Amino acid sequence: ERRASSLQHKSLLSCVTGQRQTLRQETWSLSPEEFEIWDRLYRIKEGDGVKDPVLPRVRFETLENVEGVPEREEGTAQELSLSEWRIWQNRPFPTAMVSHSDRCYHFIGVMEMIDVMRQQQGACSYQLEMERHLHMEDVNIARGRRHLSRQKGS
């Protein structure tokens, strides 16, 4: 993770330091001047009062996880949340150069739908709508039969 973030910083630094040093940019790592700038301006240090930002790891609740255990100690890192601001996510956010993908619009659409359903108590309009269109030949009945009576009854 450190490596990845320093790579990102490198590209930022190239912008900051400008063309002057492009000839020296043959090496993979930062030059001493770039390192000095990174260390002074961007590097998160202990006294800064901010925690290292980290992205949440992939974890599957229903599968055996082979990803490995995250080695970070609790409290030293700020895990970036993808759900903290969910009430903002029912509309497309502004874009700069990259437009929203279909996948992103699907996400926004579902967030909108969840917002609408949040007001509902008990009966579910989606369920009522779907029941009208269900053809039993489309579904795997053997799997679901056990639950059918219960679902219809509730």
Q: Return residues touching another protein (CB under 8 A).
A: 58, 60-67, 102-103, 106, 109-110, 113-114, 117-118, 120, 122-124, 126-127, 129-135, 138-140, 143-144, 147, 150-151
Find, among 125, 92, 129, 85, the residue nearest to 107 by Cα.
Answer: 92
> CB–CB of 21/31 below 8 Å?
yes
Q: What residues contact residue 42 under an 8 Å CB cut-off, 6+ apart? A: 9, 12
> What distance in Å separates the CA atoms of residue 65 and residue 93, rounded to the nearest whole number?
33
Of 20 and 91, CB closest to another protein: 91
SS3 category, 79: strand
Taking the least distance from each CB to another protein, the nearer of 24 and 126 is 126
- Which residue's CB is nearer to another protein, number 11 or number 149? 149
User: Distance (Å, rounded) from C-alpha 108 to C-alpha 111?
Assistant: 5
Q: In angstroms, give the least distance from the CB of 148 to another protein.
A: 8
The strand pairing partners of 78, in sequence order, are 53
Q: What is d(CA 126, CA 123) in angstroms, rounded to the nearest whole number?
A: 9
Please state the closest distance from residue 104 (CB atom) to another protein, in A.
10
CB of 145 to another protein, least distance (A): 9
Shortest distance, position 85 Cβ to another protein, whole Å? 18
CB of 54 vs another protein, minimal distance in Å: 17
Contact 143, 151 (CB under 8 A): no
